[in-house]
Amino acid sequence: MERQQPQDGKPRTGQEFLTFALGAEEYGIDILKVQEIRCYEKVTHIVNAPGFIKGVINLRGIIVPIVDLRMKFALGSAEYTAFTVVIILNISDRVVGVVVDSVSDVIQLDPEEIREAPPLHGDLDTRFIRGLATLNERMVILMDIETLMSSPDMALVADAA
């Protein structure tokens, strides 16, 4: 993963994002939330859990739940190949792994490069999108991973009910 070089000579001061592919789309998340990137390994199924929660793995003695974002958002086929990776996230003192098709790059974006997303409908609604950015003709959807992972429909955190 090569760092993106500033194209116009002036140093970039913006935030860094890790980009990854889900099906045909490209997403970016705040790199400070990423703990590590691992290969997909066999998980232990959790009983009575939603299908997109694949199960838990043993990450050096810590039990970490694994969420398949492709299944959550019905993007691409949820196949597990040698390239399937798990991004281990550190979100509000919790460790969670998300399955994605592949990790692409680390990009730096200035605030003015991030555009507001138009109103969207569907599973990934605008609450979870920080904005859209264009990078070498490609559109990157910047995800607010913290809000997404803590939202009740991810069923990761004990809800009040």
User: Per-residue string for binding with other proteins, 140-159, x by CB under 8 A?
Assistant: ---------------xxxxx
- Distance between CA atoms of residues 37 and 34, nearest Å: 8
Place of tokens 């002036």: 10
Task: Report the DSSP pairing between strands 129-135 and 138-143.
Answer: antiparallel
Q: Find all residues with CB under 8 Å of 74, minimum gap 6, and list them.
A: 123
- Among 1, 32, 39, 46, the residue binding other proteins under the rule CB under 8 A is 46
Minimum CB separation of residue 8 from other proteins in Å reads: 42
- Among 2, 8, 24, 47, the residue binding other proteins under the rule CB under 8 A is 47
Cβ-based nearer residue to other proteins, 137 or 159: 159
Minimum CB separation of residue 146 from other proteins in Å reads: 15
Using alpha carbons, list the distances in angstroms from residue 45 to 34, 42, 117: 24, 9, 35
User: What is the binding site for other proteins (CB under 8 A)?
Assistant: 42-51, 55-58, 61-65, 94-96, 155-159
